[in-house]
Amino acid sequence: MTSRKPRVVLGVSAGIAAYKACELLRRLTESGHDVTVVPTADALRFVGEPTWAALSGNPVSPQVWDGVSEVPHVRLGQGADLVLVAPATADLLARAAQGLADDLLTNTLLTARCPVVFAPAMHTEMWEHPATRANVATLRSRGAIVVEPASGRLTGRDTGPGRLPDPAELFEVARHVLARGADGRDLAGRHIVISAGGTREPIDPVRFIGNRSSGLQGYALARTAVARGARVTLVSANVALPDPAGAELVPVGSAEEMHKAVVEAAGAADAVVMAAAVADFRPDGYRGSKIKKAEGSEPEPIRLVKNPDILAELGETRRPGQVIVGFAAETDDVLANGRAKLARKRCDLLVVNQVGENLTFGRPDNEAVILGADGSRTEVPRGAKEDLAETVWDLVAARLRPAPPAEGSGGAAPGGGPDRRETSAPGAHGGVRHRSR
């Protein structure tokens, strides 16, 4: 007996980014989802009804009067497992926030009792207008996930925040939201700071000291946190990965740059997860020109000095209720070194994993033991890095203090229980936008 395909309503409003929704639709249908496209009437000026029908395999109409005998204005929302609106224009967000029901898409939004995700796309001035920000806050307070738009080239010559995130990344958000269901927004109203990638410490204009980190684990943490309703700031060092939909991206290069960016972002964060591989040392001075190889002589030694210890500083300066998570990449005596680091850095959770050639770095999978300051130990068997990320967020959510939602940052107060594999009860410890650095 075959299981029912997940039912997705893909809403499309009237923005030039509507053409990108075709790629999103293709990913949804090819991965086994039953997708009904509900465009607004003006959206059909950008992409026509035959295209949506051919790609989805389902009839397409923006009108509540088509197929009245099947009551589509109620049936679609009631039967959906997910409603995803991409692109969501300023007009659509306003109508959804006000509870208007003047076409099939807004009727569907009113009747849906499943997770609802909006992916805004508009010009920067429209996205930053107080009316739009208020509408976004209203939708989030009602339980919807509104992902932050990306920053980049917009219609015409304009550049800035307001670009529709990459369809592949939006698909990942949709996949994670569907997997968790209607009760999966336990990070709603929370601001999460995540570091990812590997820092590079310049020696001269050509060379640097670096490491093997790919950023895959940090980016998995960002994607899954967005899908659980969090506002995510991702401080990213030297990666070659697409921007996770819905995260504010802060690109950095060196450990000192990461230190400045993380400390600045962490001030008002509910949780900070240091998944980046930060260099412990840097050259004591930068050579302004390339160091040349001299025949018959050995190169001058490069003296190293310590970089700031970001995790230790976060542990010492945390504000009450803030949850700090560190990562420990170890090659020998993995758990013993991990326990020592947990105590030394004063973090709430430490994700300990073994690294080496063809192990962890650059791979899509990972395994770890998550140690808690309360004495807990959670083993995560080898699997996709998203699986480890979900376990991290389960443990973080269980440690966050209950708090009323902040205006504009989320909905109901987060909840969530401890991971079933945890060996002791947790303690109560006290879209993509870019910012240039």
pLDDT tens digits along 2-19: 578 899 999 999 999 999
* pLDDT band at residue 403 using 50, 70 and 90 as cut-offs: low
In a domain, 393, yes or no: yes
- Domain CATH code at residue 139: 3.40.50.1950
Return the residue matching tokens 């994607």. 223
Mean pLDDT of the 343-368 span: 79
Q: Would strands 377-384 and 365-372 be described as parallel, antiparallel, or unpaired?
A: antiparallel
Which of 113, 146, 180 terminates a domain? The answer is 180
d(CA 356, CA 405): 42
pLDDT over 60 at 71, yes or no: no
pLDDT over 70 at 360, yes or no: no
In a domain, 264, yes or no: yes
* pLDDT band at residue 286 using 50, 70 and 90 as cut-offs: confident
* Same domain as 271, residue 123: no
d(CA 386, CA 391): 9
d(CA 163, CA 145): 17
Both structure tokens of 301: 């030694």
Task: Provide DSSP, 62-122.
Answer: S-TTTTGGG-HHHHHHHH-SEEEEEEE-HHHHHHHHHT--SSHHHHHHHH--S-EEEEE--
- Domain CATH code at residue 308: 3.40.50.10300
Q: How many CB atoms lie within 10 A of CB 125?
A: 12
Residue set of the binding site for CTP? 280, 290, 308-311, 327, 341, 345
| pLDDT the model gives residue 238 | 93
| pLDDT the model gives residue 68 | 56
pLDDT over 70 at 361, yes or no: no
**Per-position b or e across 240-260, b if 16+ CB within 10 A of its CB:** eeebbbbbbbbbbbbbbbbbb
d(CA 269, CA 366): 26
d(CA 401, CA 21): 38
* Same domain as 218, residue 110: no
Q: How many CB atoms lie within 10 A of CB 350?
A: 26
| pLDDT the model gives residue 153 | 79
* pLDDT band at residue 64 using 50, 70 and 90 as cut-offs: low
In a domain, 372, yes or no: yes
**Catalytic residue from among 107, 135, 211, 307:** 211
In a domain, 437, yes or no: no
d(CA 273, CA 389): 11
Q: Is 107 a catalytic residue?
A: no
d(CA 67, CA 69): 5
Strand partners, 117: 84, 145
Both structure tokens of 264: 């600045």
* Same domain as 154, residue 32: yes
* Same domain as 195, residue 151: no
HSE toward the beta carbon, residue 74, CA cutoff 13 A: 4
- ∠ CA(286), CA(262), CA(237), 5° rounding? 55
> Taking the mean position of all CA atoms in its chain, how far away is CA 216?
12
In a domain, 431, yes or no: no
* Same domain as 279, residue 157: no
Task: Provide DSSP, 202-262.
Answer: ESSSS-EE-----SHHHHHHHHHHHHTT-EEEEEEES--SPPPTBEEEEEE-SHHHHHHHH
> Mapping DSSP to helix (H, G, I), strand (E, B) and coil, where does residue 385 land?
helix
| pLDDT the model gives residue 413 | 32
pLDDT over 50 at 415, yes or no: no
Mean pLDDT of the 46-58 span: 94
| pLDDT the model gives residue 178 | 92
Residue 11, H or E segment: strand 7-12
Q: pTM of the prediction?
A: 0.80
* Same domain as 345, residue 199: yes
Read off the pLDDT of residues 263-274 as tens digits, 9 standing for 90 and up: 999 998 999 999
Tell me which residue range forms the domain holding 118: 7-180
| pLDDT the model gives residue 40 | 95
Which of 138, 159, 180 terminates a domain? The answer is 180
Mean pLDDT of the 212-220 span: 91
Would you say how long the chain is, in residues?
Answer: 437
Return the residue matching tokens 């758990």. 335
* Same domain as 240, residue 155: no
Read off the pLDDT of residues 307-352 as tens digits, 9 standing for 90 and up: 999 999 999 999 899 999 999 887 778 888 888 889 899 999 999 9
Q: Residues 167, 119: contact at Cβ < 8 Å?
A: no
d(CA 329, CA 210): 15
Alpha helices in 228-347 (DSSP H): 255-266, 310-317, 334-345
Which of 151, 180, 209 terminates a domain? The answer is 180
* Same domain as 242, residue 144: no
* Same domain as 213, residue 68: no
- 297 Cβ partners below 8 Å, 6+ apart? none
Return the residue matching tokens 């909840």. 415
Q: Residues 205, 290: contact at Cβ < 8 Å?
A: yes
Instruction: Specify the higher pLDDT residue, 65 or 164.
Output: 164
d(CA 393, CA 180): 12
* Same domain as 231, residue 173: no
Both structure tokens of 309: 């210890």
432 Rama sector, left if φ>0, alpha if ψ -120 to 50, beta otherwise: beta
* pLDDT band at residue 26 using 50, 70 and 90 as cut-offs: very high
Both structure tokens of 381: 């068997």
* Same domain as 335, residue 313: yes
In a domain, 123, yes or no: yes
Mean pLDDT of the 207-212 span: 89
Mean pLDDT of the 374-382 span: 92
Mean pLDDT of the 353-367 span: 68
| pLDDT the model gives residue 433 | 42
In a domain, 185, yes or no: no
In a domain, 137, yes or no: yes
* Residue 186: DSSP 8-state: T
Domain count, the chain: 2
| pLDDT the model gives residue 345 | 92
* Same domain as 150, residue 21: yes
Of the chain, the end-to-end C-alpha distance in Å amounts to 55
How many Å is the Cα radius of gyration of the chain? 23
